[in-house]
Structure 1
Amino acid sequence: MRDRPTGRIGSLDGLRGVAAAVVVVHHTLLTIPAFSDGNYRAAVPGWASWLVYSPAHVLWAGSEAVFVFFVLSGFVLTLPALRRSQDWIAYYPSRLVRLYLPVLVSIGLALALFFLVPRQDQPHQSYWINRHAEPLSLHSLFNDVTLLSPSLVNSPLWSLTWEVFFSLLLPLFVSIAAVTRRWWWATGIIGIVLSSIGWYEHVLWLTYLPMFLIGSALAAGWERIPDVGTLVGWVLLPASLAGITAEWWLPDDAWWSPAVRAIVLASAGVIVVLAGKWLPAERFLLGGVPRELGRLSFSLYLVHEPVTVSLANLLPATFPSWLIVVAIPIGLGVAVVFSRFVELPAHRLAKRIAKTLSTKPPVPQAV
């Protein structure tokens, strides 16, 4: 019998941790001019081009890791609501406290670093770092706090905008998943197609919200999805890791770019399935390092970027490559403190709110 946790699927926490680590590596490498140029589709000289324009891009595929986050959120919030009735009155305030309280504190931290370490546009810095030298205004601060349109004070908050929208629309997603449970795979395909169309047409809500629908579809069909055999898994793993970076190494032809985006999104869904249905992946993701990264993932996601940008502005021009050695452990350390004193208390408060407003057991929350 497989060594699986009951209830909560622990290996998905490990996957979230690995995805968060990829985002951290992504932003750290963007402090190096060659990788920053490659991220904006410029020519990259030498060996760095191999890490940009090949399947090896998966090591720092930050945007694609966020796609995995979105699919995971669709899955982990839909699954409990399908398994038992959801108390929506208790859900909404609890969920918003769970998201917004850590976000607000992370904005405070980012603002403190913004004033302590001024962002400067300097010739030796990467284009990505210099973009952070934008002025601060009350309008941008309002957009940060509300998550309507986050600024570069803490740029990863852009994804929280869509997490909030999805959280508010969760009853709709759960209803779709419940009604189409027998045809869950069709719902997943529709999510992939809609998101690909949205990306091609530059419609943000149509690009990102269907990614959550992919996760909701997987939740609806989870009991029908068979365990992945060992050999099949070893085929699907490299295929999905290559597929999720397809936009970086396949020819960039406009006429078929929606199909390439569909490959990326399908690969994100396959990665989630492998994490929960393929024993080698489950065992790895249930290991100490992935699980610890999973525990810290939300805090790490919220605090690492302002820390990285501040260090890039502090260190001399001769030090850019060594920033990787410095920024990652410092970001992890700040995340540990943030998790202990901000995220966990916010999580406990959200659970108390849910318990106060409902007589039912609180539904597990996730980010």
Structure 2
Amino acid sequence: MKKLRIAFYTDDYPPITAGTTSYVMQMRKELERRGHEVFIITAGDSKTAEFAKNDPHVIVLRGPKFIDGKHTVAVDVVTLLRALNGKKFDIVHSHSPFLMGFLAVIYSKVTGSKLVSTFHTYLFHKKALSKYISYTLPFLSSNRVLLKISKLFMVGYLRVYYFLSDKVVAPSRFVRRLLRRNGISNTEVVENGVKVAKGMEISKREARKHLNLSLKSRFLLYLGRVDDEKNLDFLLNSAKKLGEKGFKIIIAGSGHKRKQYIKMSEEMKLTNVYFPGFIKDKDKKYYYRAADVFCNPSTFDTAGLADIEAMSFNLPILVPKTGAQSEFVRAGPSGEVFEISDVSDFVDKAVKIAENRRKYNPRAVAKAYSISKSADKLILLYKHLLSSKNNSNAWVTR
């Protein structure tokens, strides 16, 4: 089998923490394990450059900070051309439709490389678009006319961008339906996998002692970015009813909304909600093993990587009935779904999971979403594109 040379273009790379960051790094490692050559082309500041300085396969473009204060506008194209030094890639794989994605399109069209784009961010939904614009371009969100124009422009741009891709990867069937409703038909489903966790030897008791958590309480865990689109208000609004059932809530992670949620929790006089902050990878196993239920209440997630990670530690998940995450529950005994507008249903389902843990086998479901299986599908897609003369959509995932 021919070994491929692949370029991943991404706006998210350490020290930025995001699901895309985790997936890109894990997938690169898995593809390289199989003998393929993977370059990561990203934009960043001095911290990003420092993180990547000893890795010749990571190219960091420098430029001014974007308005969100997190991403970098990639203007240092000279560095890119010098670093590539005439390299030709079999596959250019974009993991963002914006800053780096734009460069991926240009490079693929100039060199004739096949362009694959993964739809990581839920941007076609009106509410999701509003939140994204208010977060990245806050000066537009205060003007209804400008906001409406921005949404129309964004949707138009996204349609053109994905039309220019030879194949668009949807991380879930939910996302594929969303893309097709918006006129993007050149899609295939390749689920974003994760490395199946080690750390199962740690018992719940040991994990709780390590974290200094009560052995008697029930714990509902959220672990991820603490940002608008994660809908963490829902957990705070459910906290009192959960508390009546013996639950404590752990909202672990960092993000621009963390301080606001802490303040909100204090104003609501919630005594059963904890915010431990950013959790290092080596410590995540203790939180997953200590908890009784994992819940990401977001309705905007396209893949639910944190859900898969939680399931790999055999932690049952509780997810919104609508959205991509519900596919994990339909795939096997991994947890329960709840109505996002119904706090009582949410609390009842949390209790159901806590009282019937042996009914669930989330780790078995997680194995179907491993990074290895995701890589199998991705390589098959790459091979099909490279062998196809007419870019037909004949290749179909399971």
Going by fraction, where is helix more abundant, 1 or 2? Answer: 1
Higher relative contact order (CA 8 A, sep 6+): 1
TM-score normalised per structure 2:
0.24
TM-score normalised per structure 1:
0.25
Going by fraction, where is strand more abundant, 1 or 2? Answer: 2
